[in-house]
Structure 1
């Protein structure tokens, strides 16, 4: 019987040691899990940092592009203003020409000759196309 007591005591000691190991294992697993979570958080933070850096570069590029387009539009606006000035000067000259009857007749005569020339030119061109 002494053998059974020793066997039972060694068996209970074995399971007690196993329980201690299992409890320690849980604690180790818990700390390991915590380290894994911290590592995952660090990876996520690094990923967010990379995304923020990318977005910062992207917004900088967009800003540069917008500034470039604004300069181009300003140049176009100044060019349009200059063209508007030239056109208004030309229209003023046409008004002066058409205010007098003699000038109006002269312009009508010139326009008539130009139209007649274009009609004759296209007729001869069509005749050459038909013959050739």
Structure 2
């Protein structure tokens, strides 16, 4: 019965509106009565309420995702800053002449070839003596 009412209400809506056939305009027994109209309106109201709840849920979900993305962006910025600082420290270490010292062992004697404070160039000249 509800399906028939729905078909009667919305049949022809794709042509630009509710169909106005001779059945509806003639006042015959096939005319949709007030009770059927109220049921159709109630059905539409239920759908509107459902869509309203769904759109509210979607809005809440979008807000949650935006907060999560903002948090992740802040974490990425923080990580980028830490990594940049670490890379600057590495660059400083590798560019500093005194940090290029290497401890080499004389395989025959097992003693260090470089003395603390000597760099690799000084050590290789000391080994030639």
What TM-score, normalized to structure 2? 0.57
Among candidates 84, 87, 98, match of residue 124 of structure 2: 98
Aligned length: 84
Higher relative contact order (CA 8 A, sep 6+): 2
Q: Gapped runs of 5+ residues in structure 1?
A: 1-18, 107-132
Structure 2 partner of 1:130:
none
CA distance in 1, matches of 2:123, 2:65: 62
RMSD of equivalent CA atoms: 2.5
Q: Gapped runs of 5+ residues in structure 2?
A: 1-28, 103-117
> Once the 2 structures are TM-superposed, how far is the Cα of residue 94 of structure 1 from its aligned partner?
1.6
CA distance in 1, matches of 2:81, 2:41: 59
TM-superposition CA deviations, 1:11-35 (whole Å, max 9, x none): xxxxxxxx7xx82221100000111
Greater C-alpha radius of gyration: 1
Kindly report structure 1 stretches of 4+ aligned residues shifted beyond 2 Å.
85-92
CA distance in 2, matches of 1:90, 1:43: 69
CA distance in 1, matches of 2:88, 2:47: 61
CA distance in 2, matches of 1:46, 1:69: 35
Higher helix share: 1
What TM-score, normalized to structure 1? 0.55
